[in-house]
Amino acid sequence: MLWLALLSSPAAAAEATHCSATEAVIVSCAIGEKTVSICGGPKDAAPTWLQYRFGQIGAPELVYPANKEGSLSHIDFEHGTAMHSEWDAFDFTNEGHAYKVLFEVPFHGGSMAPEPFSGILVSKGGKELARLACTTPTVQNLEHLR
């Protein structure tokens, strides 16, 4: 199953998340009729686990990793800056497919600024297979990861 997704404004996406009330919503957004969420725990501290969930609310198609225990070694988090933007990304590989849940914010406008992207990128063997953009504002709660 090739699916991913991503992030931005807490109020709008709060109802549409795969995370339970006892879990931290690290990032979440809708991609069409499906939702991508990265959930973590504990809720109000640095996470000791992270889990990617994608699909219909209440019936995710992909949960990675399946077990929360030891999950921090399976999902990488990156924060970076480039000339015209700042970005955060979660990366993992599942069944030979590389997933990147990415969200970009431009520093300032202008003709050189790239179009910001929030969503999921899926590739295999270096070839991009899917680029799924968030269709709703995204939730980002990254303060315990940076």
Averages of pLDDT over runs of 10 residues in the chain (146 residues) are: 34 68 92 95 89 96 96 94 84 97 75 75 96 88 76
> Sheet containing 97-106: which strands, arranged edge to edge?
76-81, 85-94, 97-106, 118-124, 127-133
- The structure's pTM equals 0.82
Output the pLDDT for position 10: 38
Output the pLDDT for position 138: 79
Q: Count the neighbouring beta carbons within 10 Å of the beta carbon of residue 114.
A: 12
